[in-house]
Homo-oligomer: A and B are copies of this chain.
Amino acid sequence: MSDLARIEAAAARLAGQTRVTPLLNAPLLDALAGRRIFVKAECLQWTGSFKFRGGWSAVSALPPEVRARGVIAYSSGNHAQGVALAAARHGVPAVIVMPVDAPRVKIENTKSYGAEVVLYDRVSEDRDAIGAALAKARGLTLIRPYDEPEVIAGQATVGLEIAAQAAEAGIAEADVITCCGGGGLTAGIALALEARAPGLRVRPAEPEGFDDTARSLASGRRERNAALAGSLCDAIVTPSPGEITFPILQRLCGPGLVVTDEEALRAMALAFTHLRIVVEPGGAVALAAALFRKDLPDTVICTASGGNVEPSLFADVLQRYA
């Protein structure tokens, strides 16, 4: 199956099951940035991030008899919630392997969607190994967070919507900045835009110190991060770009963008004030790049990819930066 055929099939399965999120903008935000910024507000997606798209896509693509045995996922929290809700709506069990240092709100919400949560240590344990062992023992199907074609196809529906919404807004050329972890969202959007809006170029954004994708795009091979924890942007910390996603990024994306944690927090505060949306740190790196990097075109579209943030952290951000 071609990439586009897979994406269109996923879009058909997602129709009516996932939310078409708005492309937001604000005159005062544009004035601050000195360019037009459009924000694809995936924080308004069910479960608070785009991950529900990939979760729904993958769970709905399984043969019914396989799906009925249940699914398993490992995730710092957004993929967890996406798979948990997708499984619940299909009436099948979900086991979610989560790092012990994941935001409490993400762990609690994953449990609320009815999933069984298994906690692990991000630094000393290997989530892939844990996931594979549990999957084998219980007959569960592992739903990988990004190196899985049906997940990428689900995230690609963000790109289909961006293409349609950009056309409606009269935008033919722009950089599309994505919040990039393993590259599922970035690869998906890049594939969708290649087919539907070739004037829109994708550029991945990452937090300083966890810029494996930017370095990999520069060097031409999959670079690894030195650390695997310690970023405020928990949602997008992965060891390295994915095996499936990286070749797509290499073929279709412009250079990566890197922002500091403080820039991500400032972007959260500006999204609060001017867009009235709640964005988590990892979901704000693309907006931070759109606001604070210089080498960008007059029109930029960026993903606000998630909004699952601890209230105390958000309150602190408002007090310091809003």
Query: How many copies of this kind of chain does the complex include?
Result: 2
Given A43-B276, A44-B277, A275-B44: A85 and B318 within 8 A (CB)? no
Q: How far is the CA of A41 from the CA of B318 in the complex (A)?
A: 21
List of B residues within 8 angstroms of A319 by Cβ: 311-312, 315
- CB pair A109–B28 under 8 Å, yes or no, is yes
- CB pair B276–A307 under 8 Å, yes or no, is yes
List of B residues within 8 angstroms of A278 by Cβ: 272, 276-278
Q: How far is the CA of A266 from the CA of B277 in the complex (A)?
A: 17
List of B residues within 8 angstroms of A28 by Cβ: 109, 112-113
Q: Does A105 contact B (CB under 8 A)?
A: yes
Q: Is the interface of A mostly helix, strand, loop or mixed?
A: helix
Q: Which residue of B lies closest to A32 (CB)?
A: B112
Q: Does A19 contact B (CB under 8 A)?
A: yes
Query: Distance in Å from the Cβ of A168 to the closest Cβ of chain B?
Result: 9
Q: How far is the CA of A48 from the CA of B27 in the complex (A)?
A: 11
Q: Does A26 contact B (CB under 8 A)?
A: yes
Given A28-B109, A276-B307, A278-B277: A22 and B46 within 8 A (CB)? no
Within 8 A of B (CB), among A87-115: 105, 109, 112-113
Q: Does A322 contact B (CB under 8 A)?
A: yes
Q: Does A260 contact B (CB under 8 A)?
A: no
The listed residue (B26, B273, B307) touching A311 by CB distance below 8 A is: B273
List of B residues within 8 angstroms of A269 by Cβ: 311
Q: Does A21 contact B (CB under 8 A)?
A: yes
* A/B interface sample: 5 pairs, CB < 8 A: A19-B22, A41-B44, A48-B276, A272-B311, A315-B318
